[in-house]
């Protein structure tokens, strides 16, 4: 089968790669673009470790074909921090709260949480738990995740009001 | 009791310590095994027949060969019970020689599995036996004579080959059945193969190297299987194997690099 040219924007950079029509977005990111932050936990959309943003929306990249992001904007965990490598407030609170244990689910959880805070800047605990419901953590570190996301939401809100 | 220390006075107790790997885990930089792509990493792809129950008449590997970096072909010690001297398989060997691709053999569907069920013997004995059968067919079947540049890699330190070659050669001399296609004595074919180091016995590895030469033995790991080596270099550096530094380098690196053109 012939490969297709995929042009899109990944982490604010224009990218062009050759992919098979059946290549998943996850495989294209990991194998062809070399971004191994998104993980394959299950490959069937259950675990959320492959979560990335496509045009700001959360998607399981293992369930999306790479060619479906043609001309669209993709953001992975590698593109969550600022261009000057300053950590995103969520990354900062995740480190300080000691959220990552084995760390395998963290890229997905952070992308889900970042999209949540874009949509709901001050989510309730219930909304946070719902927001990361698609992400499984086998270390079962959910309580610290909720605390870290809550704190990050506060930090981001006070930054916004200071502006 | 006023001198008693509280937990706060003891270093590290009652204090939250930030995890040193926190930042790399929240930025996606941390490397899990599946994320590691070392320079020079090779991958294996399976080629399956597109036709059920078909005989191999020819094999078109041009698409595979056209890919950059194809280094070797991996194949069973038999193909669904067909021995490697079977004429149906000859086109495959012919093509591999033409393309300069070495063939790495590995036992599967081993002979006599019925009687090897207990004690994991299908692997422990069946594997080395089947490798011996494969090598005998390549020699006695004349495959190595017809394809003088074909390179074949035998797993598990050659299985039975290093120990039984003398017997094969005796048979070749006295039994007409064993003296059909091969033009040279069995001994002459031993250096047509390359052998890995998976013998689990330093004495056997020493004997193998004495028999076939240090330039015909290459590092084996059997990585990820419990029958493999946890520390594959140990046996090569084992004192009783008495390998010079130069020979160690051949076995560990140079022989594989030459065979797989990894320079």
**Lowest-confidence segment of A13-27, A142-156, B50-64 by average pLDDT:** B50-64
- Comparing CB atoms, the residue among B26, B28, B30 nearest residue A95 is B26
All residues of chain B having their beta carbon less than 8 Å from the beta carbon of residue A104 are 32
Q: What is the DSSP letter of B193?
A: E
Q: What is the DSSP letter of B125?
A: I
Task: Report CB contact under 8 Å: B26, A38.
Answer: no
Contact B131, B159 (CB under 8 A): yes
Question: From the CA of B52, how many Å to the nearest CA of chain A?
Answer: 22
- Comparing CB atoms, the residue among A76, A96, A100 nearest residue B25 is A100
Task: Report CB contact under 8 Å: B22, A77.
Answer: no
Give the integer Cα–Cα distance in Å for A138 and A39. Answer: 14
All residues of chain A having their beta carbon less than 8 Å from the beta carbon of residue B30 are 103
Residue B42 above 60 pLDDT?
yes
DSSP B21-40: THHHHHTT-PPPGGG---TT
Strand, coil or helix: what is B72? coil
Q: What angle do CA B250, B186, B210 make, to 5 degrees?
A: 35
Picking from B23, B28, B32, B68 by the largest number of A CB atoms within 10 A of its own CB, the best residue to mutate is: B28
Question: pTM (2 decimals)?
Answer: 0.61
Give the integer Cα–Cα distance in Å for B259 and B147. Answer: 17
Q: What is the pLDDT of residues B101-157, one digit of tens each?
A: 999 999 989 999 999 999 999 999 999 999 999 999 999 999 999 999 999 999 999
Mean pLDDT over B177-189 rounds to 94
Query: Helix %, strand %, coil % for chain A, to 5?
Result: 40, 15, 45
Give the integer Cα–Cα distance in Å for B116 and B109. Answer: 12
Task: Report CB contact under 8 Å: B30, A103.
Answer: yes
Q: Report which of residues B249 and B54 the model is more confident about.
A: B249
- Comparing CB atoms, the residue among B16, B22, B37 nearest residue A100 is B22
Q: What is the pLDDT of residues A35-83, one digit of tens each?
A: 999 999 999 999 999 999 999 999 999 999 999 999 999 999 999 998 8
End-to-end alpha carbon distance in chain A: 53
All residues of chain A having their beta carbon less than 8 Å from the beta carbon of residue B16 are 98
């Amino acid at each position: 089968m012939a490969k297709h040219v995929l042009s899109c924007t990944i982490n604010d950079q224009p990218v062009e790669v050759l992919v098979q029509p059946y290549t998943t977005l996850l495989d294209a990111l990991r194998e062809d673009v070399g971004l191994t932050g998104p993980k394959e936990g299950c490959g069937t959309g259950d675990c959320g470790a492959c979560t990335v943003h496509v045009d700001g929306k959360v998607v399981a990249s293992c369930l999306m074909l790479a060619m479906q992001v043609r001309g669209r904007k993709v953001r992975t965990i590698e593109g969550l921090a600022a261009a000057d490598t300053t950590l995103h407030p969520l990354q900062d609170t995740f480190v300080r709260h000691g959220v990552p244990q084995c760390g395998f689910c963290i890229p997905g959880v952070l992308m889900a949480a970042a999209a949540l805070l874009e949509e709901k800047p001050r989510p309730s605990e219930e909304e946070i738990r719902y927001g990361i419901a698609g992400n499984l953590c086998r270390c079962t570190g959910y309580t610290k995740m909720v605390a870290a996301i809550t704190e990050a939401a506060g930090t981001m809100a006070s930054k916004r009001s200071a502006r | 009791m006023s001198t008693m220390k509280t937990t706060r006075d003891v270093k590290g107790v009652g204090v939250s310590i930030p995890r040193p790997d926190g930042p790399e885990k929240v930025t996606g930089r941390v490397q899990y095994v599946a994320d590691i792509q070392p320079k020079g990493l090779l991958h294996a792809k399976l080629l399956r027949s597109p036709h059920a129950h078909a005989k191999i008449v020819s094999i078109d590997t041009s698409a595979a060969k056209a890919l950059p970096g194809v280094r070797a072909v991996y194949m069973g010690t038999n193909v669904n019970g067909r021995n490697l001297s079977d004429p149906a398989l000859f086109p495959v060997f012919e093509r591999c020689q033409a393309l300069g691709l070495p063939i790495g053999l590995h036992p599967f569907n081993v002979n006599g599995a019925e009687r090897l069920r207990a004690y994991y013997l299908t692997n422990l004995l069946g594997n080395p036996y089947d490798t011996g059968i494969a090598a005998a067919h390549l020699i006695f079947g004349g495959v190595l004579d017809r394809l003088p540049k074909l390179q074949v890699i035998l797993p598990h330190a050659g299985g039975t080959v290093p120990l039984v070659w003398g017997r094969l050669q005796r048979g070749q001399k006295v039994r007409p059945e064993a003296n059909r296609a091969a033009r040279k004595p069995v001994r002459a074919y031993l250096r047509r193969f390359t052998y890995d180091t998976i013998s689990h016995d330093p004495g056997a590895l020493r004997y193998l190297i004495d028999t076939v030469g240090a330039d015909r033995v290459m590092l084996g790991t059997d990585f990820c299987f419990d029958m493999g080596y946890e520390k594959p270099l140990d046996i090569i550096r084992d004192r009783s194997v008495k390998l010079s530094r130069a020979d160690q380098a051949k076995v560990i690196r140079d022989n594989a690099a030459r065979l797989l053109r990894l320079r």
